[in-house]
Each structure stands twice: as C-alpha cells, then as structure tokens.
Amino acid sequence: MLGFLKKVTDYAKDAIGAGNYLAQGLSVTFDHLRRRPVTIQYPYEKLIPSERYRGRIHYEFDKCIACEVCVRVCPINLPVVDWVMNKATKKKELRNYSIDFGVCIFCGNCVEYCPTNCLSMTEEYELASFDRHSLNFDNVALGRLPTSVTTDPSVQPLRELSYLPKGVMDPHDLPKNQKRAGELPTEILELMQQNPPKKFSEKSAKGNNKIEKNA
Amino acid sequence: MVTSSVTTSQVLITQGIDIELSFNQAMEGIGISPDFSHLLWLPLPMLLVLIAAVIGVLVTVWLERKISAAAQQRIGPEYAGALGILQPMADGLKLLVKEDVIPKRADGLLFTLGPVLVLVPVILSWLIIPFGQNLLISNVGIGIFLWIALSSIQPIGLLMSGYASNNKYSLLGGLRAAAQSISYEIPLALAVLAIVMMSNSLSTIDIVEQQNSAGLLSWNVWRQPIGFLIFWICALAECERLPFDLPEAEEELVAGYQTEYAGMKFALFYLGSYINLVLSSLLVSILYLGGWGFPIPVEWLANWLGQSIDAPLIQIINGSIGIVMTILKTYLLVFLAILLRWTTPRVRIDQLLDLGWKFLLPIALANLLITASLKLVFPFAFGG
C-alpha cells in the first residue's frame, strides 16, 4: 500500500516538475517577444565586411608578370593566364587573364602567393547572375573595384558584432565614431614601441649574447 | 440563429436580440411568405460563419508568422500590406493558382477525397459555436457531442490521403495521425463529459449560460482546472500542433501525409489545420472560459448604471461585448498555442502514446469521478 502511495506521489511530483519546466520555457520565449530583431534587413541594410574578408578577387593587369604561380597554388588550377613569348625581347607578353568565380572557392591561395601583389581580395560578395558563364571574369572585369557598403547611399551600413564597442550587441542606432572593443594592431605596435615589454627585451638581449658568444 | 424548438424561441424573444425574427418581420413587411423568408434566411448565418472561419484562419496564419518571428527575434512578413497582414492572402492565392499534381501511381479518387474529408467536418463543427446568446447557426441539443463525433471523421481522411499517396512517408504520417487522434479523443471526451455533467446539457449555449452567473469567478476553469489542462493538451494533439506534430514531423517524414500534395489540395489541409486550431481555441473558451461572458456580468453593470438590460442600446452593447470576448479569449489561446510551438520540443511516438493512455486517460477518469462526487456533495456549486 505504502509502495503504491509513494509511486503516486512520485508520479504527481514528476508531473508538477514537468509543468514547472514548461512554464520556465514559456517565460523564456515570452521574454524574447519584446526584444529587438537581430536580423539585418538585407537589401536596405548591409553588414560591413571585415578587413580580411575573402570576396571576389581583384587583379591588376599591369603588375602581372605571367609567372603562373597563381595557377600552381590554386587547388583546381583555375586562373587562365594567356601569354606569348616575345622572341625579340625574350619576355613573356601577357594577353589575357581570367578567373571563373562560378568555380572559385575563394581560398585566397593565389593572392597569398602572387609575387607582385597584383591579386587581392575585395569585399564584394554579391555575385548572383542569370548565367553561370557571366561569372567568368576577364582581366577588365577583374580590374573593377566594388562599391563599398559604406559609400553606397541606398544602403544602411551596419558593423559586425566584433566591430561594436564593448558591451554593445545591436549595430542599429550606434552613435558615430564609437571605437570598437580592444586595440587596433597599429595601436598595439605603437604601445610596444613606447614601452617595450620586459620579457621581450630580456629575451632578445639573451639572444644577442648568445650570438656574441658564438662569434 | 435558426431556432427550432418553441421554448427556446420564446426565451429568445424575451432575452437579447433575435436577428432572425427581425429579418422575418422585415420580409413579411415587403410581402414575402414566412416559409420563403425562412428559406432566404437560412444561408445567411452559414455564409457569415464560413467567412468568419476563413478570416479567423487568415488572422491566425498572420499571427503565427508574426509571433514566430518575434520569438526568434526576426521581423516576419512586412511588405505585403501594413505589417504584412496581406501575407496569408498572398499565400492562399499562390496555392490557388499552383498546378494541381496527382502522382502517377496514386489512387486519384481517394487522393482527392482525403483533404475534403479532413476539411468538411472541421467547418461543419462551427455549427455549434456560439458568439453570443443567439449568435450561432443552430442550437443543436447534442451540441458538444456533435463536435466530438465530427472530429473523429478527420483521421479517416488523413489515413486515406496518406495511403492513397503511394508514398512511404505519407503512409507513416497518415498512420501516426490516426493513432494520435484515436488515443487523444478518449481523454478529450472524458474532460468534456465532466463539463456536461456540471451543466446538465450537451448544448454549448447551456454550457456557457451555466458559467456566467457570477462572471469571472463562475467560469468552469476554476471548477475544472485539471479538465481544462487535459482538454487543452488533447486539443493540441487533435490539431497536430507542436509538441504533438508527429504526423507531419518534417525532420522525419518530409511532411507526413501532405508530402505528395500541392496546390489547392494542400491548401485544404492547411486551411483545415488552422480552422481546427481556431475551433479548438473557441471550444476551450466556451467550455472553460465562459464563452461570450464578460469577466463582470453585463447585467450587474447595467443595474449599477441604472439601465434596464432590455434597453436596445444595452442589448447592442451586450451583443458586441459577447462577440469581442469570445474572439479575445480564443485568440489568447491561439497565442498560447503559438508560443508553445516555439517552447516545446516534439515528443516521440512512444511518449505521445504513453502520455495519452497512461497519463491523461486515468487522470481524466479520476477527474470525472471527482466531479461526480463533488456534484453530489456540493450541488449548488457543481450544478446539482
């Protein structure tokens, strides 16, 4: 009899506990109703891509020496370098250069290895087109610069989460000239040059000593 | 509004507005025979309720999209009309002009009949929904029982469309829908039975009347708290709403019995499920939350203001308050259902059947027993 009663009370406790959890969950969802939407209203608002954003590749025809390093480091040998050997000058003469962005995976290897820095990555990501062949950019198309989100008058530029001031979560209605959280690399470098960290200077001093001993 | 029995129509004359009577008198004034004017009258309330049901669905769909968006910190439909209120219309219009595909190996007749069999009983159930003292199509004596009977036709339609689709996901969805409906109908009926026992009537009008003697305090939800919870859980299960949306669980069954449906046939399912949700919320507000009753009885307010309850203006205000209160209570419940959708995870099929048979059924039986004994002990409070 007691065992049965215990079972019944345990069962009732479980049911009440389940109801309690349900109420907790409901309070969470109810609380979310009064929060501001976190979504970016895309064609009207756009996030500012970060400085290291790997978008569509930009190419400067005049800097290129047709070395084909970009082709060799590309996972699928995508860039097409069309050059001929000028026998008179014994130099490569570049005719055309193209990358098909319908196939490119935007890994950035070509940009990394380009010896003359004629390749770079832009912040452009809106590459939708009606025909996939129109994504095959030649050297003229590759040389165009994208419109920056910040200068486009029809777009409200919004900062990404990591570019917001400390403690701010919402990029909307942010006062101008608010500094992002943390220091910029240039600022860190300046700080280090003004008062060099102790450990760093000691280590370098030891290293110098070693070199002297070896000498 | 179509009253057949003499006693009720006599009551109606003394109490509240009777639009049918005024309509018939106006028709006789033009010189139309009473029989013909009755015939003219008949389709009017039906059409009105059908329009009300469809508008109710459009509002519910819009609310679902907006509240879901808010719960997920999105904006939701925004550009179709102000605040996106025309979005459900656009959805419906799209489905209307879409190609109506019947799979090659499917059974064409049953495939077409399925969605009809799902939708028609749900719409038919609006017959017994009162929005006020005389504002319902028909005060059927078996009222609430008619709804229980009609709602058990639905699983046949679901199973039919699932089987006729000739698709394993559809079949599984249809079978799950049938299993779910059958297991949750019993506790649902037992919860309703406790209410019926208290109000001594199956008629929805009598059930609401019985609750409105002292306003908010006399609502059934205080006397039947367990029954209220059981009914709400079962109603959600009958509507296949989360957390009980197993028949169309998209992660497991694509879309359950709706997998092969497109165009208008899919729209019928869609419409059916939302009409069912609104209907269930309406029934909860009728059975447990005092139906058209204002939290403070309008008679008391009228007395307090020194007005006669039979004065025409008071009658009109009373009627409007009734409609507004019914809709308000219903949409509060719809809101709760939508909020629950984003709060609760889906139950497994074994958990679903466990909950139905091992938890709700015994509790509903105990609730019925307790109600019966309370009725014997306190006949004044439990409708002796």
Its ipTM equals: 0.71
**Cβ atoms B334, B63 nearer than 8 A:** yes
**Would you state the pLDDT for residue A182?**
81
**Would you state the pLDDT for residue B4?**
40
Residue with tokens 């009008």: B205
Contacts of B342 in chain A (CB under 8 A): 29
Categorize the per-residue pLDDT at B79 as very low, low, confident or very high, splitting at 50, 70 and 90.
confident
Sign of the dihedral through C-alpha B63, B69, B71, B74? negative
Residue with tokens 């609006």: B126
Asked whether the beta carbons of residue B69 and residue A15 sit closer than 8 angstroms, the reply is no
Torsion of CA B285, B289, B295, B296, to 10 degrees: 110
Q: Within 13 Å and on the Cβ side, how many CA atoms surround A149?
A: 20
Contacts of A33 in chain B (CB under 8 A): 67, 70-71
Q: What is the pLDDT of residues B327-378, one digit of tens each?
A: 999 999 999 999 998 898 888 888 888 888 888 898 899 999 998 898 888 8
**Would you state the pLDDT for residue B17?**
61
Contacts of A30 in chain B (CB under 8 A): 339
* Mean pLDDT, rounded, for A179-191: 84
| A67/A92 Cα distance (integer angstroms) | 9
Chain A interface includes B63 (CB < 8 A): no
Probe site for chain A from B244, B342, B346, B361 (most A CB atoms < 10 A)? B342
pLDDT at A203 over 90: no
Q: What is the pLDDT of residues B139-181, one digit of tens each?
A: 777 888 888 888 888 889 888 998 898 888 888 888 888 888 8
Chain B interface includes A8 (CB < 8 A): no
Probe site for chain A from B340, B343, B344, B346 (most A CB atoms < 10 A)? B343
Encode burial over A145-179: b for 16+ CB neighbours within 10 A, e otherwise: eeeebeeeeebeebbeeebbeeeeeebeeeeeeee
Chain A interface includes B359 (CB < 8 A): yes
Q: What is the pLDDT of residues B102-147, one digit of tens each?
A: 888 888 889 989 899 989 998 888 888 888 777 777 777 788 888 8
Contacts of A39 in chain B (CB under 8 A): 73-75
**Would you state the pLDDT for residue A120?**
93
pLDDT at B6 over 60: no
Asked whether the beta carbons of residue A32 and residue B72 sit closer than 8 angstroms, the reply is yes
Residue in A22, A36, A39 nearest the CB of B344: A22
Asked whether the beta carbons of residue A39 and residue B67 sit closer than 8 angstroms, the reply is no
Chain A residue with minimum CA distance to B360: A15
Chain B interface includes A80 (CB < 8 A): no
Q: Indicate the DSSP class of residue A86.
A: E
Please tell me which residue, B160 or B34, carries the higher pLDDT value: B160
pLDDT at A7 over 70: yes
Asked whether the beta carbons of residue A33 and residue B71 sit closer than 8 angstroms, the reply is yes
**Would you state the pLDDT for residue B5?**
38
Contacts of A15 in chain B (CB under 8 A): 359
pTM for the model: 0.78
pLDDT at A200 over 70: no
pLDDT at B298 over 80: no
Beta bridge partners of A83: A94
What's the mean pLDDT when you consider all of chain B? 83
The distance of A12 to chain B (nearest Cα, Å) reads 10
Contacts of A32 in chain B (CB under 8 A): 70-73
Interface of B with A in 224-243 (CB under 8 A): none
The distance of B371 to chain A (nearest Cα, Å) reads 19
Question: A45-49, A169-173, B59-63 — which is least confidently predicted?
Answer: A169-173
Q: What is the pLDDT of residues A53-74, one digit of tens each?
A: 999 999 999 999 999 999 999 9
pLDDT at A22 over 70: yes
Residue in B74, B339, B359 nearest the CB of A30: B339
Beta bridge partners of A87: none
Chain B residue with minimum CA distance to A23: B343
**Would you state the pLDDT for residue A81?**
92
Categorize the per-residue pLDDT at B14 as very low, low, confident or very high, splitting at 50, 70 and 90.
very low
Among A67-76, B218-227, B309-318, the range with the most confident prediction by mean pLDDT is: A67-76
Residue in A22, A25, A37 nearest the CB of B73: A37
pLDDT at A204 over 60: no
Please tell me which residue, A189 or B215, carries the higher pLDDT value: A189
Q: Is A120 helix (H, G, I), strand (E, B) or coil?
A: strand
Question: A121-135, B77-91, B150-164, B299-313 — which is least confidently predicted?
Answer: B299-313
Encode burial over B121-149: b for 16+ CB neighbours within 10 A, e otherwise: bbbebbbbbbbbbbbbbebbeebbbbbbe
The distance of B345 to chain A (nearest Cα, Å) reads 10
Chain B interface includes A194 (CB < 8 A): no
**Would you state the pLDDT for residue B62?**
92
Residue A174: which of A187, A161, A185 has the closest Cα? Answer: A161
Among A55-69, B27-41, B204-218, the range with the most confident prediction by mean pLDDT is: A55-69
